[in-house]
Amino acid sequence: MSAVSDAVLTQILNQLQALQISQQTLQAKLDSLTLANGGVAAASPPQSPHRHVVPIPSRPQSETPTGTSTPTSSFTTASALSALSVPTQDADKAAIDKEREKLLYPGRVLLTTYPDQHGIKPFPLVWGASDPAVRGPVIPSRLPSSIKQRNALGAHSGSYSIYRALSIAMGALSPTHKPDYSKTEPAVDIPPQPAWSDPTKIVSFDPWGHLVPQVFKKEIEELGLDVRPSIAVTRAHMKMSEIDEAARKGDLKVDGKILIKSQPMHNADGSLSTADPGVEIVISKAAVEPVWYLPGVAERFGISENLLRRALFEDTGGMYPELITRPDIKVLLPPIGNLTVYIFGNPAYLSDESKELTLRVHDECNGSDVFGSDICTCKPYLTYAIEECVKGAQRGGVGLVVYFRKEGRALGEVTKYLVYNLRKRGGDSADKYFKSTELIAGVKDMRFQALMPDVLHWLGIKKIDNMVSMSDMKYNAIVQSGIPILKRYDIPDHLLPPDSRVEIDAKIAAGYFTSGKPITEADLVKTVGRTWEETEH
């Protein structure tokens, strides 16, 4: 009985699909004729409950690398895609997906373009111009309204652009969705600084990225270009158990402005708890996507722009061919992680040289920062820096923590864990610390801090009173960019996790800053980490 029922159900579904396709094809043709005559396409029917599919507006003719064009399918309305949303057998599903692919991408596969190709005219972009109207918007979009005026390669959202592509492929997102940026303006003011108009000071992101909807309103609304923010600025409260503990011990004082008392918590039964709710830090913060001005990035690393382009193309599996074929496009939005700025106190004080500024530049460490791994000092150092930022703000200054997504010294978490395995199996001593990384990755560090100071120049910082960091690479990059550092200090010994002494001693011997006794290469063999056998896993 079950087999008969399944066969009947399949037949009914196939018949239903055939009827829908027939009906919606006629509707699509009618919509196409209506649009061609300047009218408005008919409304689409209700979507299938089995699969969410968004409408895909008809696209104009697609440009090919040779400058010729190919006609688009007339089967390009919401109703057409709705007809393809009923699940059937594998063969039918493949056919449906093939048809959806044609609707989403009606032209030939466009691998690359060339500067002299017919119709291509990048929107003018003058990196470092003080007037945003002269500077121009950053446009990487391949939508029909913008593709011929693109002046940037890559895609917004960095590594998250891949999720956007998946969402479009699955039908959850329309590729032509137009964001509504009303009420999204920065929650705190980050005004233009002199460095914004110096093309050598900021090369790794767009300094106008948080003001895009305001300064490029004409390009978005009147010209119909797909221009998007690459920076967002907001306000929030920061809640950390370590800060709660510091307040309970009296290391931090509740002032009602920078550090405030948390609201009472609730018990499991819904009643108010009498337990100490702890404290919260009032902060401003900004998320910044990478936008690389290629000539400036190449200059920072001391290489030619051509070599930079070739390396980015070759060693990412040919990710963006236009790095090679479009030398006229000077901007790339790379698929890498972003950075986040956390401001403690008045953001306006960042550019005020009369105010005390405390800084930590922190590179991501998921294992320690989030999950509390004790093999490194990342979380306790970050927490200590936040406490110092709060204290500095309470003294009338301002604190700043910049958090970069550079997991595992930009080698990645997989490489980091492989190094952990090697260290624990090969004798985890400080003299082998960097050698273990080099054996696997070929280099001990790929963070290359040359681009890091850009965010400090974006905020108008002219001097740093207190730098909570031992890194010589970070210190040198900031000072060489023109920002003096008056004081730097290391993490106090009592905050070191049990298994992290190997890391700290190896870094000090390699040249990291320390206010204590210098460590020599001969001392490193004496610093040994915990073995796996010493604890259960």
Per-position DSSP letters for 319-330, written without gaps between them: --THHHH-TT--
Does the annotation mark 142 as catalytic?
A: no
Q: If 0-12 CB within 10 Å is exposed, 13-18 middle and 19+ buried, where does residue 56 land?
A: buried
Of these residues, 447, 454, 490, 499, which one is catalytic? 447
Question: What pLDDT is attached to residue 531?
Answer: 66
Question: What pLDDT is attached to residue 489?
Answer: 86
Question: What pLDDT is attached to residue 193?
Answer: 97
Q: Are 190 and 400 in contact (CB under 8 A)?
A: no
pLDDT along the chain (537 residues), means of 10: 57 59 49 42 39 46 42 41 56 83 84 91 96 97 90 95 93 91 97 96 98 96 95 98 96 97 94 95 98 98 97 95 97 96 98 98 94 89 97 98 93 90 81 84 91 98 96 95 95 80 69 71 64 53
At residue 109, the 3 state secondary structure works out as coil
3-state secondary structure 21-52: HHHHHHHHHHHHHHHHCCCCCCCCCCCCCCCC
Q: Are strands 357-363 and 398-404 parallel, antiparallel or unpaired?
A: parallel
Question: What pLDDT is attached to residue 21?
Answer: 52
Each residue of 504-525: b (16+ CB within 10 Å) or e?
A: bbbbbbbebbbeeeebeeeebe
User: What does residue 294 show for φ and ψ, rounded to 5 degrees?
Assistant: -55, -45
CA 204 to chain centre: 12
Question: What pLDDT is attached to residue 1?
Answer: 47
Does the annotation mark 198 as catalytic?
A: no
Neighbouring CB atoms inside 10 A of 275's CB total: 9
Q: Share the mean pLDDT of the chain.
A: 84
Question: What pLDDT is attached to residue 73?
Answer: 36
Tokens of 380: 């306790």
Q: Are 111 and 65 in contact (CB under 8 A)?
A: yes
- CA angle 105/107/110 to nearest 5° reads 95
